[in-house]
Amino acid sequence: MGSTACEAPARARAPRHLGRGGGERARLLAAPGEGQREAVDFSLLDSVPDAMVIADEHGEIVHANREAERLFGWPRSELAGRPIEILLPSRFRAEHRAHRTGYHAAPRTRPMGLGLDLSGLRKDGAEFAAEISLSPIEVDGRRCVVAAVRDVTDRKLLEGRARLWSKAQDEVRERDEFLSVASHELRTPVTALQLQLQLLHRLAARGKDDVPRLLEPRVEALERQTRRIALLVNELLDVSRMRLGRLELRYEALDLADVVRGAAAQVREEVARSGSVLQLDLARAPGRWDRMRLEQVVTNLLLNASKFGQGKPIAVEVEADGPRARLRVTDQGMGIAPEHHARVFERFERAVPIANYGGLGLGLYVARQVVAAHGGEIRVESLPGAGATFTVELPRDPPGEHAPAALDAPAVH
């Protein structure tokens, strides 16, 4: 199609509705009565604030208004008869041709603001973010489409900055909450250490024969608080390493049952103080893993179960299943709502209020990262009031065990 469509008034029949914000365009283009035809004066489109481009079903540009000239940088006399794809970045042109064919097979009004990421191309090669509405129309008995184009680059930039600001605010809130929780968690054992040391000083000052007998439980209490501080500090260091991708695994031949048995022995006293007991059902499950890291996973799961297990027995199972080894830790506590299953594996996240239960909210996050680094999976099955089962599955012979650990992998739920 040549430029004659732009030089003389054309005959057109438009649908009654041309989409959001299309009232003015409808007034300019639509016929006054059903089945009637009325000459379209394209010059009226110059009063529309949006860029308006009319193209036929073959994709040839029929007309462009003054705002389209300004937006795209093309004189309308040069646009007439050119393919509409000239106004699109080259990477979108083939796809647009296919969409154009489909649109004309079933023409319909498509309003602006549908959340699509669209781009326009100026004559000088500059791209801009665009919103585009489409409305079918007839010109001289031929099916055409009116595209109203709006440059939304500035708005997109503002929206992007708003998202970055919101993200930064969230990170600041997360940091402040973490610092508050971490300071509380570290202060608690430090205070306990100070009290125990004061008692030791008093006992030492007594100089009586029963001092050694009285010292033993105090020393044990000091050891417990020291272990607690070490665990908190190690969790913080591990999170830092994981964020930097520096978690190293030292593989060796192990039996997962032995690892679980050793971890259970280390936490048995703390589990007992919560009122729970560990019920072990450990079948042999040999494989190649990092002993220290696996002990860390098991310890976190056992302590988590004792914290939320409401003083009831905790079942711990290990089994080999072909090329994989499986660990299950099941408590009979309060349970976790399905909508919180994913959250419990994130940093500083809990499914319960901080005020009710201590901890940094890092144990399950660290467990997930260590399991993922071994090429394994961790998941939780739980309902409120029905306890929780955490399942860890590990490849017994991890592929690429000398490759860097893959961190921040998603949990499987």
Give 119-144 pLDDT, tens digit per residue: 999 999 999 999 999 999 888 778 89
Which class does domain 251-395 fall in?
alpha beta
3-state secondary structure of 404: coil
334-350 burial code (b ≥16 CB/10 A, e <16): bbbeeebbeebbebbeb
Query: Which of 286-300, 356-370, 383-397 is the least confident region?
Result: 356-370
90-101 burial code (b ≥16 CB/10 A, e <16): eeebeebeeebe
3-state secondary structure of 41: coil
369-381 burial code (b ≥16 CB/10 A, e <16): bbbbbbbbbbbbb
**Domains of the chain: which residue ranges?**
4-151, 157-244, 251-395
Where does the pLDDT of residue 20 fall: very low under 50, low under 70, confident under 90, or very high at 90 and above? very low
Same fold, 157-244 and 251-395: no
Residue 124: the pLDDT is 95
3-state secondary structure 275-327: CCCEEEEECCCEEEEEHHHHHHHHHHHHHHHHHHCCCCCEEEEEEEECCEEEE
Q: What is the CATH number of domain 4-151?
A: 3.30.450.20
Burial, 86: exposed, middle or buried (Cβ in 10 Å; 0-12, 13-18, 19+)?
middle
Burial, 366: exposed, middle or buried (Cβ in 10 Å; 0-12, 13-18, 19+)?
buried
- The whole-chain average pLDDT of the chain stands at 78
Q: What is the CATH number of domain 157-244?
A: 1.10.287.130
CA separation for the pair 323, 127 (Å, rounded): 53
Residue 157: the pLDDT is 93
CA separation for the pair 237, 329 (Å, rounded): 25
How does pLDDT run across 151-180, given as a tens digit for each residue? 999 999 999 999 999 988 887 877 776 666
Task: Name the strand (E) or helix (H) holding 236.
Answer: helix 211-244
Count how many residues are written for the chain. Answer: 413
CA separation for the pair 31, 40 (Å, rounded): 9
**Is the predicted pLDDT of residue 26 greater than 50, yes or no?**
no
